[in-house]
Structure 1
Amino acid sequence: MHPAYTLSDAATVFSPALVFFPELIRQNIARVTEMAGGPARLRPHVKTHKTIEIAKMLLDAGVTKHKCATIAEAEMLASAGAPDVLIAYPLVGPNIERAGALIRKFPGTRFSALIDDPDMTRALSSAIKAAGLEIGVVLDLDVGQHRTGIAIGDGALSLYELAGSLPGLRPEGFQLYDGHNNQPDRAEREKAVREFIQPVLELRAKAEGKGIPVPRLVCGGTPSFPVYAAITDVPGIECSPGTFVLHDAGYGPKYADLAGITPAAVLVTRVVSRPTANRVTLDLGNKAVAADPVLEKRVTLLDFPEYKTVGHNEEHLIVETAGASAYKPGDVVYALPGHICPTVALHNHVLIADGGKVVGRWDVASRVRVLTV
């Protein structure tokens, strides 16, 4: 277990608790900035941490471009002073009007949003024009995940042309999110990127040939980040990892090319029961740690004897281990979440530790869907 994780005042910490380590966060930011070749090539996603404090840490490190998924996250970033925010999610329904309110409230922030549908693009233009405003639009290209986006081809070019012709919209580039490209072997991730990057560049050239600028390519997430960071001959690449600020047990051992990035968020849990000779039950239920990974990968218990997770309920994590006799109710155990992003969203606030002690608390400000806009 990393020596920074042990808390000398753990006896006073309510459990389950999520603890952030700012010094490790700063080190992760510095490492990713180095890998990217400078802060100008980064557009990190706020979804992992959802805190104004880490947003400010990134700004202090020279990162001026940011990415988010919700209006609340965009508002939090703008309130932190972020000058450039991409809402990397389709705006539909009332969120279109909310985007206009956001632009009006934070004139010092340049906002943009994704598009992948003609009718949605027209609706966005209509609302933004009626409000007398302007918003950037980034064409969301489906490069293989088939979650959102439009296929690379004539339809994508036509949609980008449409955006360039509509009032209130400012074409600002393409998004290439390849969340499916998460193979442990870097060579496989590089191969996958090579297969779709050339058609993307051809599409870019066609758009620019029609006089429509494509100044940026917003690329990837954390697994494919090292691949895009190494591409230096394509102008306008913005690497878009998010998990790196806190990292987790899901990515930690999986990607050798993310070496130097350290988990900076730890769960403090306690033994609440010893129901059988080989079982230990902890207060780390699925209301405190994300349950989207498979059962055996939801949590990694630290400095704990070899174990098997056999149950996970709302308030209980049940493990079986031959070393169960070493534990009694009340004992503190440290754990890494398997997926940090949705784990953070389960907590209203996080504890802040430095020098082996809890020194403060941060609100997880944008875990909610609405702040003021």
Structure 2
Amino acid sequence: MAPADWYIIDNVDELDTPALVVYADRVQYNIDLVKTMIDDVLRLRPHVKTHKSIDVSRLMIDAGIAKFKCATIAEAEMLGMANASDVLLAYQLTGPKLKRFIELIKAYPQTSYSCLLDNQYTAGAISKAAVDDHITIAVYIDLNVGMNRSGIIPADALALYEVCANLPGIKLIGLHAYDGHIHDADYTIRQQRSDESMQPVLKLVDAIIAKGYHKPVVIAGGSPTFTILAKRAGFECSPGTFVYWDKGYQVAYPEQLFLPAALLIARVISLPEERKICIDLGHKSVSAENELAKRVYFLNAPELKFTGHSEEHLVADAGIGHHYKVGDILYGLPYHICPSVALYERAITIENKLVTGEWKTIARDRKITI
């Protein structure tokens, strides 16, 4: 068991705040752990939206993880720079993004790229662009299994699958089924809802095979249903948050024993009233989409009650006779790590309780070179 003060940084006075820090040994632990939670590492296709880092991607590649999922052209290029072998850009490409994707394919020939589509118009556009550029673009049909954000419902997808299978310039690989609407804390309910959402997908797979096509690859799920879908033979699974973990998932999914590996370091910068303290961790420094009480949890100040949050400041009620002073360091575990990481251009690495270097959050930008 890790000591209670595992997060303390001995030379923290050298660190300007707010800062994103990552504990390299814990990142490696989480990568090693996720591999034990599935029967075949080749069924892992981690999403890189959490870390957006070449350094973390390379740690995964060195651990034998060969496939990845991402959501932006920049994330896809970052993976190409890391020499990832197989990358799904889990996004439907239109307009300039399709042109950029083709440039990406040409710029990183060592990486096999694929993308999503959910309608015949996009399929035709991808086919034409591929033929015009004398390339083949690998695609997955994006399915709506309850998220109601994008994708075609499985019952209507067979016709689209047949169209795509016959279009020039397209290589149809399989199906993508993201279940981000399933995040129940109760594991039994989560499993039931996951099973229900995947039944139409399994029925579609059978229908595709019955039509004489090869069995499609199915990429499914995210972190909340990872432990459930990992038990489904043949499915590729796409957890992402596991690599850094956060307070929200730590509370909601206790069966997943990942370690918090990234924190936000902040300082008390003002004592405006007897009970109040002001902290340099505003909207620009921690994800603010959750209610005020569930944005950050300070490991060394769990009693704080937040009363206000603005662009540069977080105000908290510390109680009568509190001990806080201007300059005090606070170690914050975000409730939602992914958008919090995107607020920082670099993650400061911590090893043996010391600041040792940095990992650039290179894919937070909308564009790297392409």
Q: Which AA in structure 2 matches 1:10?
A: V
C-alpha displacement of 1:269? 0.3
Q: Secondary structure of the residue that 2:157 maps to in structure 1?
A: helix
Q: Deviations over 1:125-179 (max 9, x none)?
A: 11111111111111111000101111111x2111111111111111111111110
C-alpha displacement of 1:23? 0.7
Partner of 2:254: 256
Partner of 2:231: 230
Give the Cα separation in 1 of the matches to 2:39 and 2:285.
36
Partner of 1:201: 202
Change (3 A) 1:211 1:99: farther
Change (3 A) 1:212 1:323: farther
Change (3 A) 1:71 1:246: same
Give the Cα separation in 2 of the matches to 1:336 and 1:305.
10
Q: Which AA in structure 2 matches 1:341?
A: C
Give the Cα separation in 2 of the matches to 1:79 and 1:140.
26
Give the Cα separation in 2 of the matches to 1:77 and 1:67.
9
TM-score, with normalisation over the residues of structure 2? 0.97
Per mean C-alpha deviation after superposition, the further-off stretch among 182-191 and 324-333 is 324-333
1:40 and 1:64 in contact (8 A); partners too = yes
- Once the two structures are superposed, the pairs formed by residues 123-134 of structure 1 within 5 Å of their partners are 123-134=125-136
Q: Secondary structure of the residue that 1:256 maps to in structure 2?
A: coil
Partner of 2:76: 74
Partner of 2:102: 100
2:205 and 2:216 in contact (8 A); partners too = no
Q: Which AA in structure 2 matches 1:73?
A: E
How many pairs were matched up?
A: 368
TM-score, with normalisation over the residues of structure 1? 0.96
Per mean C-alpha deviation after superposition, the further-off stretch among 301-310 and 337-346 is 301-310
Per mean C-alpha deviation after superposition, the further-off stretch among 350-359 and 36-45 is 36-45
Change (3 A) 1:132 1:324: farther
Give the Cα separation in 2 of the matches to 1:196 and 1:341.
25
C-alpha displacement of 1:37? 2.2
C-alpha displacement of 1:3? 3.2
C-alpha displacement of 1:238? 0.5
2:47 and 2:240 in contact (8 A); partners too = yes
Equivalent residue in structure 1 for 2:323, among 309, 323, 326: 326
2:347 and 2:359 in contact (8 A); partners too = yes
Is 2:346 the partner of 1:346?
no
- Once the two structures are superposed, the pairs formed by residues 8-87 of structure 1 within 5 Å of their partners are 8-87=10-89
2:274 and 2:320 in contact (8 A); partners too = no
Q: Which AA in structure 2 matches 1:240?
A: S
Give the Cα separation in 2 of the matches to 1:305 and 1:203.
48
Partner of 2:174: 173
Change (3 A) 1:370 1:214: farther
Percent sequence identity is: 42
C-alpha displacement of 1:206? 1.2
- Once the two structures are superposed, the pairs formed by residues 136-215 of structure 1 within 5 Å of their partners are 136-153=138-155, 155-215=156-216
Is 2:282 the partner of 1:285?
yes
Q: Secondary structure of the residue that 1:195 maps to in structure 2?
A: helix
C-alpha displacement of 1:31? 1.0
C-alpha displacement of 1:5? 1.2
Q: Deviations over 1:274-321 (max 9, x none)?
A: 111111110001101111111110000112151211111001011112
